[in-house]
Amino acid sequence: MPALEDSSAARDDRRDRERVRRSEAPMGDDDIRARVQRVTLRQQQFERHVAEALAVDAPGLEAMDHLISTGAATPTELARRLGISTAAMTLVLHRLENAGHIRRERHPHDGRKLVVTAVDHSRDRARDLVTPLIDGIERVVHDMDAAERATVQRFLDQLIGVYDDALDPTSPAPR
């Protein structure tokens, strides 16, 4: 019977931690899971904020992110990167073009293809929105000593591995 009580107590503990993670309630000093959840939630809020400021939907924001970070691409390349069909990508590109965020031009070496490019004013606006976050993260990292950075890097690498394992059901059990 103690195992059942432990199981019930563990469920109650998980529920309590979940409530804290999804609220602004104070967290325990050792509640790393709550902090990871809050970072995830803040990231989602930030992405919605940027999408709203640029007047784009989530797939449009993802396409813009790829165009800004990696440069011009064909619609097929973008569709592959976003994991969507070329037909869906065409709709995303129509919305972005109508909003003035992208330009579609003939490929310089293969006139049958199109190349999609983010327009300067949209690229600049996106950077203006994202730069304070990047700068803030850089300050946080800069303020850590080498041992702290190594610990955080190890934790984040392991966390990424847990996500990778959860995304690939054929992978071995989490590390």
Task: Please report, for the chain, the start and end positions of each structural domain, with discontinuous segments joined by +.
Answer: 2-143
Neighbours of 147 (CB within 10 A): 8
Regions of the chain short of the pLDDT cut 50:
1
pLDDT score at 87: 96
Neighbours of 118 (CB within 10 A): 22
pLDDT score at 14: 64
pLDDT score at 28: 63
pLDDT score at 108: 80
Q: Which CATH class is domain 2-143?
A: mainly alpha
pLDDT score at 164: 92
Cβ partners under 8 Å of residue 63, min gap 6: 78, 82, 89, 92, 93, 96, 102, 116
How far apart CA 18 and CA 26 sit, in angstroms, is: 12
Instruction: Tell me how far the alpha carbon of residue 125 is from its chain's centroid.
Output: 19
